[in-house]
Structure 1
Amino acid sequence: MSDAESNPAEQSAAEQVSPAATTRGRRRGKAPRTHVVGKVLLTSLIVLGMLTGLSVVFIYRHLNDNLTVLDVSSQLENRPDKQDQASDMPQEPLNILVMGSDSREGEGNNIDGLTGDGARSDTTILMHLSADRKQAYGVSIPRDSLVTRPDCKTEDGETIPGGENEQWNTAFALGGPACTIQQFEQLTGVFVDHFVVVDFSGFRDMVDAIDGVEVCIPEDIEDPEHGINIPAGTREVRGKEALNYVRARYTLGDGSDIGRIARQQAFIAAMANKVVSGGTLARFDRLVGFLNAATKSLIVDPGLENVFKIGKAGLSFKNIGLDNIKFVTVPFEYDTREGFEGRVVWLPEADDVWQKVADDEPLSRRLSSGAINAGELPGSGSPSDGASPSDGASPNEPDEDVTAAREAAGLCA
């Protein structure tokens, strides 16, 4: 196995915080598009891959110093078998567990006027890269998934007891990446080759480095309690305003976290496409500024300990192409039990998804129904190849489900 594909890695346990509780009841519905951090990572990987081709040594050294490398391998137990490299394949399949850290500690991190006492993870995505490097897809796990959380270890060897009917992101709050990896592997049977934690605190600098991102806001966003005031219209947002836009919840759309995630998805799609556009890549100052902010936001395992190794993975994604990288959400439905309003439970089809990952097989049309691709532009209103318009919808008219989802998220239809 190559150095770039060694086992994941060790992190000190995060301070315990209570997972965010969702008080709003929600009906059963389609899977949310919780792929924000995945697009941030893909964009960063691809641009790093391009920089690899430039062989700019002094930039490498600076970016390497930005990375935080952690080894959690000693904390992981009873791991699933790793798939052996096939004799007719030049490389092994690769599974990267991506976690978004929602820490609000530190200078400038009081996003939407709030502060916090630790790190939470609002996003978990398993990125799968096939052994032949011809396909890739991401499987997103809703943070409100109710699961049986296994015991896990801190870096000091202490045991954090597991529990039933636990919200997915509790594992990260209690034990950071190690407990999240332990939970993921135990529940899915999929071996994690690498992990990446993306800290959202670097988001503002990433947006500013590319001179802002254009968004379409259908109504004024006014939330005095959290210090948010953004006028309606199509406009470019930067800095703190961009952070407030992606964080706004209760005063925009249907007020749900699912709606906020969809809006974040659209924003990051716009950012990703701007980053890989000729205008950004042609500006060396913007390119370096974006990479500087991105690498400061990453915590990685030893197998991804420098930008050369990260860039190598990025080139694999680039060669596949953003338009050919699909994102799906693990099949789920809303829990109807009293006391669990707003939480979700995985459907039996989730086992089929994880088996495809473990076997290094593409997702079937059934499992990828409603998938989006990493190159999808916000406002297009068009589903990916894996999805079909609602029954009765004209090919020339927007899908009613897509329009409703955009309105719920507070996006222009």
Structure 2
Amino acid sequence: MTRDTTSENRHDGKTDGTGRRGSGPRKRRWGRIVLLSLLVLLLAAGGTGYWLYSGLDGNIKGVDLDEAIGDDRPAKLPTSGQNLLVLGSDSRAGANAALKTGNVSGARSDTALVVHIPEGREKAVAVSIPRDTLVTRPECTRADGSKVPSAQRVMFNSIYSQVGSACVVKTVEQISGIRMDHYMEIDFAGFKGLVDAIGGVTVTVDKDIHDTSSGLDLTAGTHRLNGTQSLEFVRTRHGIGDGSDLGRIGLQQQFMTALLSEIKKQDLLGSPAKTYGIADSLTQALTTDSDLASLKALAEFGRSMNGVDPSTMETIMLPVAYDKVDPNRVVAAEPQASTLWKALRSDSAIPESAKKSPATGGSS
């Protein structure tokens, strides 16, 4: 049965004694700033040439989470650790209307990652939440001030379109018991612009992928994907696995690794025009919490992540099992999910048992 699951180079301004900005180690250091996703690439780019595009601040949209959510939130970590909720949205408004990557209407959170950076900020772990996971949505307040009552068995990715991004944050906080220090969202148009700005991303697939829904058509082997093809790649699901969202998560994780590798290979510091192009495409599509809604704040945050090396990052999926009532949906698998969230809350190592997902035969 096919499952229907809609669902800075940190630049401190110092010179090399000749008046030129330093290079070499500083360029390599830039690559280590990259946290996990394409969103954080913007942070690094912002720190690299802030003088080039300070005027782009106005592109970034901000959400005041404290005002939108109120006091009904988990306590902040007692350490210097950080937690971020990263969303990829598939709104079909504006520039996204021209992206023919599926036939879903409206706006939904197509990708959701809870990124945890422990104290010391030298590593990171990201937990993917399958978009067709059934959750209890808490009472939330829309941007217009209207109240939306709590509801059970709500598909996770529908919350964004029904109530808004602040409610997604509140939902994640309540199911995990973890306070999200920051929120980042990028829409599909910005994602496409990033890939095209860097000249594409190379991926390798073991099997042919033919998905008429997303439009992806790849033969087994290595391919250089442009922006449109990359969107098809991260959205495809019918052409892999059992057709559910779980297979798509694997492709998304593979693509993010390839994207980070591509960025590290490129000498963006030696090409201000390219760096500006990336920053421009991303800031137009970027929404953050109000504390990060400026290039200066993003650059400072990027510098604080200087010790995070992509090779130390772990990306796993929230353990889920197929719902007993609706086999086209999944629910958090217990006790694995609770053990996972508890480990993140306490900055502890995640037990291998907490990574096993019944819906995928035990793999994370």
Please report the TM-score for the alignment, with normalisation by the length of structure 1: 0.70
Asked whether the equivalents of residues 112 and 248 of structure 1 are also in contact (C-alpha less than 8 Å), the reply is no
Matched, 1:237 2:225: yes
Over residues 115-164 of structure 1, what are the superposed CA-to-partner deviations in whole Å (9 max), with x where a residue is unaligned? Answer: 55431012222222234323332222221222222111112321112212
Please state whether the residue corresponding to 2:136 is helix, strand or coil: strand
Matched, 1:363 2:349: yes
Asked whether the equivalents of residues 79 and 191 of structure 1 are also in contact (C-alpha less than 8 Å), the reply is no
Q: What residue in structure 1 maps to residue 46 of structure 2?
A: 48
Following the alignment from structure 1 to structure 2, what is the Cα–Cα distance between the partners of residues 169 and 66? 25
Following the alignment from structure 1 to structure 2, what is the Cα–Cα distance between the partners of residues 221 and 133? 38
Asked whether the equivalents of residues 250 and 256 of structure 1 are also in contact (C-alpha less than 8 Å), the reply is yes
Please state whether the residue corresponding to 2:306 is helix, strand or coil: helix
Asked whether the equivalents of residues 247 and 260 of structure 1 are also in contact (C-alpha less than 8 Å), the reply is yes
Asked whether the equivalents of residues 114 and 126 of structure 2 are also in contact (C-alpha less than 8 Å), the reply is yes
Q: What residue in structure 2 maps to residue 308 of structure 1?
A: 296
Following the alignment from structure 2 to structure 1, what is the Cα–Cα distance between the partners of residues 234 and 87? 17
Matched, 1:295 2:283: yes
**Residue 330 of structure 1: how far off its partner (Å):** 2.4
Following the alignment from structure 1 to structure 2, what is the Cα–Cα distance between the partners of residues 172 and 160? 13
Per the alignment, do residues 325 and 370 of structure 1 end up closer, same or farther by CA in structure 2, a change over 3 Å counting?
farther
Asked whether the equivalents of residues 150 and 183 of structure 1 are also in contact (C-alpha less than 8 Å), the reply is yes
**Residue 218 of structure 1: how far off its partner (Å):** 5.1
Letter in 2 for 1:73: D
Over residues 34-82 of structure 1, what are the superposed CA-to-partner deviations in whole Å (9 max), with x where a residue is unaligned? Answer: xxx9522233333434x1xx4x4241222x1221122243231452342
**Which range is displaced more, 190-199 or 64-73?**
64-73
Per the alignment, do residues 322 and 148 of structure 1 end up closer, same or farther by CA in structure 2, a change over 3 Å counting?
same
Matched residues, percent identical? 29
Per the alignment, do residues 354 and 245 of structure 1 end up closer, same or farther by CA in structure 2, a change over 3 Å counting?
closer
Please state whether the residue corresponding to 1:214 is helix, strand or coil: strand
Q: What residue in structure 1 maps to residue 339 of structure 2?
A: 352
Asked whether the equivalents of residues 95 and 128 of structure 1 are also in contact (C-alpha less than 8 Å), the reply is yes
Q: CA RMSD in A?
A: 3.2
**Residue 299 of structure 1: how far off its partner (Å):** 0.3
Per the alignment, do residues 290 and 79 of structure 1 end up closer, same or farther by CA in structure 2, a change over 3 Å counting?
same
Please state whether the residue corresponding to 2:238 is helix, strand or coil: coil
Unmatched tracts of structure 1, length 5 or more: 1-20, 25-36, 87-91, 372-400, 406-413
Over residues 186-222 of structure 1, what are the superposed CA-to-partner deviations in whole Å (9 max), with x where a residue is unaligned? Answer: 2222222221112122111111111111223556655
Letter in 1 for 2:348: P
Unmatched tracts of structure 2, length 5 or more: 6-34
Asked whether the equivalents of residues 318 and 332 of structure 2 are also in contact (C-alpha less than 8 Å), the reply is no
Following the alignment from structure 2 to structure 1, what is the Cα–Cα distance between the partners of residues 229 and 342? 42
Please state whether the residue corresponding to 1:198 is helix, strand or coil: strand
**Residue 355 of structure 1: how far off its partner (Å):** 2.5
1:230-379 correspondence runs (5 A) = 230=218, 233-252=221-240, 254-335=242-323, 337-359=324-346, 361-366=347-352
Please state whether the residue corresponding to 2:42 is helix, strand or coil: helix
